[in-house]
């Protein structure tokens, strides 16, 4: 790209998006030739799911909030496209940056492409190889219409090559590693979450459940939470979707008596809880990787992962959703071996911006 003033729209929708955008916005502001504009699509509108991240990660207030909120996939994607197109026509950006794999990612990439605006996808090339996951569809479509593909790992680059994507593919490392390295020491200084919850380091388990493939399945939720209820000292920051279905399946009262359910928490508290946990049990793609960063053994309640690197040396284990199997794996002495660094040097945002300057 040329060295003239470049107007860039950065799109954030869900909790992980905010964290990936934060170091990019900070880096863009160091270069006078960039004019970055932040857009919040509104997918996560609860303060603890979005607002707290802007404060903690020192992200400036978005210029636009589309207010899309929750909805069916088609409804959410369609509304995002309608509202985002209006902004693109008004702002006339040179580039749109999308991150991750939520509905807003593919929606905004489609709008920009049709308006002949260049698109950069941060976290390109991830694959679970399960097209039943909406996120997998979003990833594939976004990658195939993007002009710049910023990959977090060598594996992601290989995936793109196998799909015939070679041009403007860059292995820049994982931008979440930038965020983690910057904030883990701050979390140690500032987080009071262990004191608030009366927790001792390595004496509790951290759990999160939010994927639709689990929450929308009554049998899976029963298997997962029956297992959780058999374990002492589980802390579960409860995603709104999980809470909704626990109520619907009439499991919430039982679960509340057995495990420590808390409201969604900010990033600093979350990584400090994660670092000090004995083990994490999750269905989140991002938390698998953050567990790897904190050297916390992880159990993933899914059949596949976008982050196969975390499976090496048993830092992460894919576990079938059956009560007895979940229990066995939680209680097992998961003692991983030495770690390798697959996720870059913590300077991903600098590499992305440097690439866009050229």
Catalytic residues: 210
- List CB contacts of 311: < 8 A, sequence separation 6 or more: 305, 317, 318
Q: In what order do the strands lie in the sheet with 64-65?
A: 64-65, 34-40, 6-12, 95-99, 118-122, 148-151, 169-171
C-alpha 179, offset from chain centre:
12
Please name the residue that has the structure tokens 């015939």: 164
If we measure between CA atoms, which residue out of 101, 107, 46 comes closest to residue 77?
107
C-alpha 160, offset from chain centre:
20
Measured CA to CA, the distance from residue 168 to residue 182 in angstroms comes to 28
Q: Within 13 Å of residue 314, how many CA atoms lie on the same side as its CB?
A: 8
Measured CA to CA, the distance from residue 14 to residue 318 in angstroms comes to 24
If we measure between CA atoms, which residue out of 17, 27, 46, 8 comes closest to residue 106?
17
Number of residues assigned to the chain: 358
If we measure between CA atoms, which residue out of 135, 283, 134 comes closest to residue 221?
283
Residues 125 and 149: beta-carbon distance below 8 Å:
yes
Residues 25 and 110: beta-carbon distance below 8 Å:
no
Residues 317 and 280: beta-carbon distance below 8 Å:
no
């Amino acid at each position: 790209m040329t060295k003239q003033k470049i107007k860039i729209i950065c799109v954030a929708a869900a909790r992980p998006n905010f964290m990936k955008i934060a170091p990019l916005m900070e880096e863009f502001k160091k270069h006078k030739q960039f004019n970055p504009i932040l857009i919040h699509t509104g997918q996560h509108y609860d303060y603890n799911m979005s607002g707290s991240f802007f404060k903690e990660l020192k992200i400036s207030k978005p210029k636009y909030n589309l207010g899309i909120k929750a909805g069916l996939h088609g409804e959410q994607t369609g509304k995002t496209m309608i509202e985002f197109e209006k902004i693109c026509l008004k702002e006339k950006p040179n580039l749109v940056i999308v991150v991750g794999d939520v509905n807003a990612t593919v929606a905004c990439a489609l709008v920009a492409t049709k308006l002949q605006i260049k698109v950069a996808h941060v976290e390109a090339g991830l694959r679970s190889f399960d097209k039943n996951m909406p996120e997998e569809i979003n990833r594939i479509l976004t990658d195939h219409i993007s002009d710049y593909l910023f990959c977090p790992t060598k594996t992601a680059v290989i995936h793109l090559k196998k799909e015939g994507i070679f041009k403007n593919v860059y292995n820049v490392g994982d931008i979440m590693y930038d965020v983690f390295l910057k904030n883990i020491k701050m979390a140690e200084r500032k987080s009071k979450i262990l004191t608030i919850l009366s927790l001792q380091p390595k004496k509790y388990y951290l759990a999160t459940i939010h994927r639709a493939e689990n929450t929308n399945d009554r049998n899976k939720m029963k298997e997962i939470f029956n297992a959780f209820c058999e374990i002492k000292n589980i802390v579960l920051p409860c995603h709104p979707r999980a809470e909704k279905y626990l109520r619907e399946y009439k499991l919430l009262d039982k679960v509340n008596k057995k495990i420590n359910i808390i409201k969604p928490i900010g990033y600093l508290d979350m990584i400090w809880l994660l670092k000090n946990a004995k083990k994490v049990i999750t269905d989140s793609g991002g938390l698998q990787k953050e567990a790897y960063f904190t050297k916390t053994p992880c159990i993933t309640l899914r059949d596949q992962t976008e982050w196969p690197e975390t499976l090496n040396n048993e830092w992460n284990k894919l576990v079938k959703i059956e009560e007895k199997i979940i229990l066995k794996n939680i209680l097992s002495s998961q003692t991983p071996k030495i770690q390798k660094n697959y996720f870059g040097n913590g300077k991903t945002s600098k590499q992305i911006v440097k690439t866009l300057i050229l």
